[in-house]
A and B are shown apart, each in its own frame.
Chain A
Amino acid sequence: MSAGLEFVLLVFMGLPLLIVLINNLLKREIAQKICLSLGLIAGIGQMVAAIVVFVSLNAAGQASVDFSQFWNLTAGASRFSVDFFSLLALFCIGMVVTAGFLTAGKTIGDKRFNFTNLAMIILLGMNGIALVTDLFSLYVFLEITGVASFVMIALNKEGNGIEGGFKYLVMSAIATAFILGGLAFIFMQSGSLLYSDVASALSDWQNVDQPALLIVAFALVLVGFSIKSGIMPFHGWLPDAYQSAPAAVSVILGGIVTKMAGVYAILRLTGDIFVGVNLVNQILMLLAIVSIVLGAVAAITQTDFKRILAYSSISQIGYILLGASCGSAIGLIGAMLHFFNHATFKTTLFVNSAAVETATGTTEIEKLGGLQEKMPVTGVSSILAFLSTAGIPPLAGFWSKLLIILAVWQTGNFFIAGLALFASIFTAAYFLRLQRCVFFGSAVEGLENTKEVTGGICLSSVVLSVITVGFGLLFPLVLLFVQSQGLI
């Protein structure tokens, strides 16, 4: 381990914990005032740390760093590790959490103290997911993220938050049971749940004593993570949870939480652990394409801003998993980049929905209209984000989708590649409908005096839009970096 990198765990696991402590030790009145700033510090600090670690890793020419222990009893196997993909995920987490806290300033009201506490726990949970190297620890952090999310969705006990939270909890509990069941069978075979041990135990999985048990294990793990990531047909809870969550919570939830809890784990599984297991890839590919198409189709007739975004997430998650299911480096890279892009553009859209909700008091698109003139920043950033989602060049979303579809093409599944390409039309269709209903046209009665929401919300949508556009324009550089790492 290079000397400068020891602080990594301190930032990613220690800083949020420290902020929770500070927040709870302070007098409540003071804590109410500064807790959101504390959260911002954690988010921004995480982004900075991710960049610093990236640069120093790159400078040291390493692909990953392992961390052995928290407390120094004796040397043991590594339990945490950072590589480029987890850094990307950590950066996304920091970005989305920052956006969530910026949004919270105007939307969360007097719940801010609890919001900060829970958001820090979610942050810790997600960081854990990104850093761990052990399947069981992965489950532990999934559970932490999940528990904190259930509570956050129900943070405002008025409204439908309890309903959304409970549905998420039930589905998530089923997912947990499936994942752990699968892990038990894998553990039976491998005797350890470290990524590396499991990967080597599974490398020749067809020739073990009881391959049937392993097949059951693969299926169980896959089902569990599919429920967690909300792909069709395991998606029921996802739109409800997104729609009912308070604005700032849905930014964090929709932007990153469900991606970390489900998609990131699947990417790790297909990239690091189930490397040679074609079975998983093929099933995943089918699930992914079903999700892409049906998610987009279902979004077309939705009437709630956030619900449209939720179904759009289902469809986009499908793209990420499609990339991961190709089993090739290029597909995995495409999936990772789409993961990042999705975090940016979907967060932008959720921030915009928060802005619209704050300004007009509703997210039902039939009650909205003509906001482009009144809320230009929100309108323009939303257009950019949706163009990126639909994969219009040269925005960021285009490149990652291109890589994914190329990867699918290379696997020889031409029909699926075509379908994935074709689904972009549906994406454009539902977003055009959204854009037309909310932003274009003339102002609806009662909304004449709407004003742009200033401050953090506006700032975060501008910055995220800049990232979307900039990443798209500078994409060749990203590709060059990826090539220079010898990944493609």
Chain B
Amino acid sequence: MGAMFTDLANFITGGSGVNILYFMVVLPAVLAVLTVIIPRDSFIARSICFLAAALADLILAIALFIDKEGSMLLSWTDFEINLAFRVDDFSSAIVLALAIFAVLVGIYSVSFLRKKEKYGQFYCYYLLTLAMANGAVLADNLVVLLFFWEGLMVTLFGMLVIGDRQKPATAMKALVLNGIADLLLMLGVAATAAQAGTFMMAGVSQLPIEGLGILGFVCMMAGAVGKAGSMPFHSWIPDAAEVAPLPFMAILPAAFEKILGIYLLVRITFDFYQMVPGSVMSIVVMAIGAITIVLAVCMALIQKDIKRLLSYHAISQVGYMILGIGTALPVGIIGGLFHMINHVMYKCCLFLTAGSVEKQTGTTDLRKISGLGKLMPITTVCFLVAAFSISGVPPFNGFFSKELVFDAAWESGMVFYIAAVLGAFLTAASFLKLGHAAYFGPLHLPEGVKAEDVKEAPGAMLLPMGILALGCLVFGLFNRLPLSVIQPIIGEGYDFSGWPHSITLVAISCVVLLLAVGNHIFGYRRTGEGLKAVDHIHYAPVLRSIYNCAEKRYFDPYDIIMVLIKGFAWVCFGIDRAINWVYDVLMVNFIGGLSSGMRLLNNGSVDRYMVWSFVGIGFIALLCLFFV
């Protein structure tokens, strides 16, 4: 099938070597521009164009997935910066995953954004994001990778600006944090290329982590986990949840960025570099994972807004993936990747349910809504499936992938295992709280919203949710299906499908889940409200003050950076004024003066023009004498 597309591409381009890979990038980008060019009033035409792009990408991705091979190279002059693409087992699976989520969230977005302003820009950025993501995954050259990676940052910024045009503080925050991560990545790419002696990925293979390699590895890893939204690059995500349109949250922080970040992390740790289990680097990566799991889930626990809560979980879950990959054990890597896929499914699904709640009630603040279960049964069912999945209840998909990560953590160090289990406990507790508060209990709606107005979400929004929820179940029950795709990535002969191997770990997990339920019942009895079921943790003696600080954003790395920067900025201010003066006053006046002077010289007299020409001739004559 893929070969067919390649033939078609060759036919179109006259057999110049361009193939399907090129279209994976160009097609969404071209259609992205088209969505903005189509007149603003024709929502339908724009939406059709938008969905067509997503579907076309899916078809191409399927073709690639079947074919699983191909490469193209547009070479650029003498420098080694070629537009090079390549596809293999791993990247074809990733591209397929991206395409599937793009279609699902795309369908949802069309319904969600109906009658909203700026939807055209959203479509455009969405498709550009898709194009950039495809490019980043398929890139076969570090510079090309970097190009698309930075492009993703731009579209991210654009999407955030749509949401909060007046005061794009969140967009700035995202830009700064992502910018730092990307700068690190750039540094890493430079160091890696210096060590490998080439920019082409074929030459960057299994480098040892030593010397310059340490710098390259650490910086590239920072770039990758930063994109995935791990600590300490995470803090824009909860803020974005408040201002950005919901499909944005579902597609970018929940889906694309995780997939891309983890993809790159795996590429770095096992392809570009050679990470050995138990090595220092492995421990560093695992530590990042463990800290992310625990801290983010702690913050998630006390959130009172569905979107914020979910976005903290999006951070926390990425910790599991990083932890799994950080172990450098086959079981951990596969667990991490499997968890990534699962996470994207259930977190996407959760965000979509939050979106339908928002669409119907106008808010996602848990203090204003409860008992929606009866009004929105299908949404509730989807939520439950996804919540079970994220909490690791068997036999949903999250359970299996978490077990694999637990297994790896158990072998790598008790401290990581404990962190992972603690994370699982708190995750379960916070979802019990969320589910209980939002969907069960007595009906409670925000002021001005009548119960009869709150209906089930429209079909186009339910369809993606339903598919994702079903997927959670299918990937759990038939986990051989996804694992058979993932396992070949790290080599032959691994099989972790079926029921988890270690009975002990499963038992511990079940006990932890039961504990979480117990904890919830305890809290609920104490306060009488589902929402406050975890208050005893929130207001526990020591934790209370820490949480207070956290709520005031004392721990937000962005704010810390900003405070430092403020001091620095103050010093720089004076210098800046001076430089600014040079640019704003001196340069402008100089150029303006030069330009006005030229206008005066050009006085309309043909004699004057001839004199100028003679000056030019004299100049040429002098040059001739000089060169002779």
Contacts and interface: CB of A to CB of B under 8 A. Distances in A.
A171 B610 contact: yes
Interface in B32-54: 33
Interface in A194-238: 211-212, 215-216, 218-219, 222-223, 226-227, 232-237
Given A298-B595, A481-B16, A223 B609 contact: no
Contacts of A216: 624
Nearest to B608: A236
Interface stretch (A73-81, A278-286, A356-364): A278-286
Interface string B603-628: 01010111011011101110110011
A301 B599 contact: yes
A235 B26 CA distance: 41
Interface residues of B, number: 40
A235 B613 CA distance: 8
A473 B30 contact: yes
Contact of A410 (B78, B594, B617): B78
Contact of A237 (B33, B74, B595, B609): B609
Interface in B67-124: 74-75, 77-78, 83
A215 B624 contact: yes
B309 to A, nearest CB: 40
Given A170-B606, A476-B74, A477-B13, A236 B596 contact: no
B613 A283 contact: no
- Residue of B18, B75, B610, B612 ringed by the most chain A CB atoms within 10 A: B610
Interface residues of A, number: 51
B22 interface: yes
B592 interface: yes
A452 interface: no
A300 B604 contact: no
Nearest to B593: A301
Given A279-B624, A282-B623, A477-B18, 10 more contacts: A211-B628, A223-B613, A233-B613, A233-B615, A236-B612, A279-B627, A283-B627, A297-B595, A298-B602, A299-B595
Contacts of B26: 473
A236 B602 contact: yes
10 contacts: A171-B609, A218-B624, A232-B616, A236-B613, A283-B627, A301-B592, A476-B18, A476-B74, A481-B16, A484-B16
Given A279-B627, A301-B592, A480 B17 contact: yes
A237 B78 CA distance: 41
Nearest to B75: A483
Contact of B606 (A167, A279, A406, A476): A167
A412 B324 CA distance: 51
Given A298-B598, A301-B599, A236 B609 contact: yes
A471 B610 CA distance: 39
Interface in B567-621: 591-592, 594-596, 598-599, 602, 604, 606, 608-610, 612-613, 615-617, 619-621
A215 B628 contact: yes
A219 B620 contact: yes
A286 B622 CA distance: 13
Interface in A388-444: 406, 410, 426, 429
A382 to B, nearest CB: 15
A294 interface: yes
Interface string A295-338: 00111111000000000000000000000000000100000000
B598 A479 contact: no
B404 to A, nearest CB: 42
Contact of B33 (A283, A410, A469, A484): A469
B20 to A, nearest CB: 14
Nearest to A222: B620
A241 B619 CA distance: 25
Contacts of B594: 297
Nearest to B615: A233
Contacts of B602: 236, 239, 298
Contacts, number: 107
Nearest to A476: B74
A234 B613 contact: yes
Interface of A: 166-167, 170-171, 174, 211-212, 215-216, 218-219, 222-223, 226-227, 232-237, 239-240, 278-279, 282-283, 286-287, 294, 297-302, 330, 406, 410, 426, 429, 469, 473, 476-477, 479-481, 483-484, 488
Contacts of B606: 166-167, 170-171, 236-237
Contacts of A239: 602
A233 B624 contact: no
Contacts of B595: 297-301
Contacts of B22: 476
Q: Which 5 A-B pairs have the closest CB atoms?
A: A236-B609, A480-B16, A301-B595, A233-B616, A298-B598
Main secondary structure of the interface of B (DSSP, over half): helix
A234 B602 CA distance: 12
A14 to B, nearest CB: 31
A134 B613 CA distance: 27
B592 A300 contact: yes
A167 B83 contact: no
Contacts of B627: 278-279, 282-283
Contacts of A297: 591, 594-595, 598
Given A476-B22, A480-B18, A426 B591 contact: yes
B139 to A, nearest CB: 15
Contacts of B591: 297, 300, 426, 429
A481 B18 CA distance: 11
A234 B616 contact: yes
A480 B78 CA distance: 15
B33 A167 contact: no
B37 to A, nearest CB: 8
Contact of A227 (B83, B592, B613, B628): B613
Nearest to B17: A480
Contacts of A477: 13, 16, 18
Contacts of B616: 223, 226, 232-234, 287
A211 B613 CA distance: 25
Contacts of B610: 170-171, 174, 236
A7 B74 CA distance: 36
Nearest to B592: A301
Nearest to B29: A473
Interface string B218-248: 0000000000000000000000000000000
Contacts of A226: 616
B74 A294 contact: no
Nearest to A380: B37
A436 to B, nearest CB: 15
B403 to A, nearest CB: 47
A294 B615 CA distance: 15
B568 to A, nearest CB: 28
Contacts of B617: 219, 223
B33 to A, nearest CB: 7
Nearest to B12: A477
Nearest to A167: B606
A378 to B, nearest CB: 15
Contacts of B613: 171, 174, 223, 227, 233-234, 236
A330 B30 contact: no
B248 to A, nearest CB: 24
A283 B74 contact: no
A223 B614 CA distance: 10
B16 A234 contact: no
Contacts of B604: 240
A31 to B, nearest CB: 36
Nearest to A298: B598
B626 to A, nearest CB: 9
A256 B73 CA distance: 35
Contacts of A171: 606, 609-610, 613
A298 B612 contact: no
Contacts of B592: 300-301
Nearest to B616: A233
A76 B415 CA distance: 92
Nearest to A394: B29
A210 to B, nearest CB: 13
